[in-house]
Amino acid sequence: MRAFVEHLREVPNPQRRRGRPDAPPLGVVNPRTGKQAPGRQYAARTINHQLSVLFGFYDHACAAGFGPLVNPVPAQRGRDGGRVLAHHNPMEDFVVHRRATYRQKQPKPTWRAIPDQAAEQLFGVLRCHRDRALISFWLSSGVRAAELLGLRHGDLDVGAHTITVVSKGSRAREEVPASVDSFAWLALYLAEDRPPLVEGGPLWWTRTQPPRPLTYHAARAALQRANAVLGTNWTLHDLRHTAAQRMLADPAFTLVDVQTILRHASVTTTQIYTQPRLEDLIEKVLEHYARPPAPAPTLDPGYDASAVHELLGIRR
């Protein structure tokens, strides 16, 4: 297991070699968005995800009796069902390990929303009503990219302005509100492209002939074409961040309201969007130093200065 983790930390990620020929260099920060492009190696989050998958596989194999006697992947803290440090030698000092062995240190979770002006520019370079409807739904409802692409005929309630998506993880069908503009763009897409209307069939289709159901990679390619025009590197998940940021900026929404709409299992995940962004802090600091200093307090011209000084015991 140690050799496997060392291998993932050193070898380049083969997915990074499948980019566009005009794609920016790996690991470079985009000057317009401030986002860093993925690096050549596997990210720490990816390595930890691989360890979690292997731990679940070997845990099932050990329980079924056809695997190793001991799970080769060290368990996360407290996942063994027992008390933390239950078998600690009382003669030795306690050392609390925040991460299990071989687990990588992940950077603090951050979020990045698309500014309103950049969102308008992105919307303006889209080529068809289908892409405009998709972007509008992502920005207004905050659903995940795969959840929206999985919509089928019958999953929309135009009168209630809601869509029914299959939530990630729980796989439950849940209703999510969307804006009126999203359904207007959807109507234009259906009237312009005239995709196949199959009962219970996919809602989103490619524009090629013959049309095929729109996949995640095809939708991402449409966004990458818009990024190439603008010189940006926005992602589909940034649209979900933008929707969350816009909702939290509205005083009519509470944190629990946004958690319910985004369908987060824990409110702690939603609290990530309450953290101030670096660009917002920079703007506030610049505004602070650009503000002229407050004038020093002075006496009203109607008062006798010498009398006031004598009253307050101030020596000039």
Active site members: 144, 168, 237, 240, 264, 273
Provide the pairing of β-strand 162-166 with 173-177: antiparallel
CA neighbor of 54 nearest in space, from 77, 71, 35, 34: 71
CB of 178 closer than 8 Å to CB of 156: no
- The CA distance from 154 to 157, in Å, is 8
Alpha carbon distance 193, 191 (integer Å): 6
What b/e string do you get for 202-219 counting C-beta neighbours within 10 Å, with b at 16 or more?
A: bbbbbbeeeeebbeeebb
Token pair of 117 as six digits: 């002006």
Residue in the structure block whose two tokens are 């006798």: 304
Cβ–Cβ under 8 Å, residues 38 and 27: yes
Q: Report H helices in the chain.
A: 2-10, 44-64, 116-124, 129-141, 145-149, 180-193, 216-230, 236-249, 255-262, 267-270, 278-290, 305-312
Q: Can you count the helices (H) and strands (E) in the chain?
A: 12, 3
Q: Can you state the angle between helices 216-230 and 116-124, rounded to 10 degrees?
A: 110
**What's the CA gap between 241 and 187, in Å, rounded?**
26
